[in-house]
Amino acid sequence: MVTSAHEGMHRIFQERPEVLAPVFGLLGVPLVEKATVDAVTTDVTEARPLERRVDTVLRVGPSDGEDFLLAIESQSGKDEAKASSWAYYVAFLQAKFRLPVLLLVVCQDGATAKWAAGPFDCGARGWTAQRTYPLVAGPDNVPKIADVRTAVKNLALAVLSVLAHARSADCDAIMETITAAIEKVRETDPETADYFLDFLEISLGNTPAGQKLKEIMSFVSYFPGRGTVRERAYLEGKTEGKTEGKAEGKAEGEAKGVLRVLEVRGLPISGDVRERITACMDLDRLNDWLDRAGTVACAEDLFAEDPEAGGS
C-alpha cells in the first residue's frame, strides 16, 4: 500500500497495471490491453558510489510485439537535476536488461508537467550526444472524469485522474464521481473498492481533493444525507452498537463478580460452569447468580433453581 502522494502517483502502475493501456492511449503511444506487466528492481546503483533509484520500473510484454521497460517517475516540481538523472535511468536500464526503455513522468500540476516533457539534452559545443524525451501524464492530458459510468468502466484510470487533478477547482465534482463509482464497484468487487478507497485516502493527503474525500467519508455514505439504505443501516447499527456495547460490558463485569465470589470462597469452578457464567448476557440472571454465589455449597448449585437450567 502507498504511503504518500508521491508514492501514489507511480505505485498505481505497479499495483493496478490495467491503467497502462488507457494512459498510453492518452499519450498517443499504442499499447494493446493484453500485455504482461512485471515489476523490476528500481535500484540503478552501480557497484560503488552514488545511490540511484527509479520510483517504479515495469517490464511490459505486449502480445503484439517486443517487451520493453517502463521507468515511471512521480514529479511534484521542477528539479533541474532530473535532466541528468532521467537520462542515466534510461541508459542504465537499457544496458542492464538489453531492452528498449520508455520514461513516464506523472505530475499533479501543469507547470511541472510542461517542464517534465523536455526534451533534456546532454552535449557540448553544439553537438547533442543524448536527448531524453519523457512521456508525461498530468492535468493537461489526463481527463477529468465526472461521469460515474465512465469511472466504473475504468476505475484505475479514474483514480489516476483524481490524483492528477487533486488541486483542481473541480475537485469536489471529481471526488463525488469517484466515490460514487467506488461504491458501485463495491457491489461486485468489494476488495477492489476497499483498495482504491484506502489508496485515495493515503495518496491525496491534505490536497483539496483529500479534504473533500474526508468530508464525504465523514458522512459514511457516498451520498451523505440522502437517506440511503447503507447510511441508515450504518447510523442505526452505530446506535445499537453503543447500546449493545454498554450492555455487554456490564454483563462481563457481573460475570467476573460471580466468579470472583466463588473463587474467594474457595469453591472449585469447572470449565463448564465458568463458560456458562461468562457466556451469559442476561443481567437479571447474572445478578441472581451473584446474590447466590455467597451462599451456595458448590458452584453448580448456582443453577439449581434456574428456570432455564439447560441454557444461559
Q: How far is CA 309 from its chain centroid?
A: 50
Give residue 290's region: left, alpha or beta (phi > 0; psi -120 to 50): alpha
Q: CB-based contacts of 219: which residues, under 8 Å, 6+ apart?
A: 225, 231
Percent of the chain exceeding pLDDT 90 equals 16
Cα separation, 203 vs 167, whole angstroms: 13
Q: Which residue has the cell 451523505?
A: 224
Domain residue spans of the chain: 1-142, 145-218, 246-303
- When the pLDDT of each residue in the chain is averaged and rounded to a whole number, the result is 78
Q: Which residue has the cell 535511468?
A: 89
pLDDT at 134 over 90: yes
| Structure confidence by residue, pLDDT tens digits, 156-201 | 899 888 888 888 888 888 888 888 898 889 888 988 888 888 888 8
Across the strands, what pairs with 121? 131
Contact 137, 195 (CB under 8 A): no
| Structure confidence by residue, pLDDT tens digits, 288-297 | 888 788 788 8
The helices-and-strands tally (H runs, E runs) of the chain is 12, 7
Q: CB-based contacts of 306: which residues, under 8 Å, 6+ apart?
A: 285
Nearest residue to 137 via CA among 209, 72, 42? 72
| Structure confidence by residue, pLDDT tens digits, 250-271 | 788 788 888 877 876 778 999 8
Higher pLDDT, 225 or 215: 215
Q: How high is the pLDDT of residue 135?
A: 92
Query: Which three cell numbers mark 246?
Result: 454498554
Higher pLDDT, 287 or 300: 300
Contact 159, 199 (CB under 8 A): yes
pLDDT-derived band at 53 (thresholds 50, 70, 90) equals confident
Nearest residue to 22 via CA among 145, 176, 166? 145
For residue 144, what is the DSSP state? P
pLDDT-derived band at 43 (thresholds 50, 70, 90) equals low
* Class of 1-142 in CATH: alpha beta
Percent of the chain exceeding pLDDT 70 equals 77
pLDDT-derived band at 310 (thresholds 50, 70, 90) equals very low
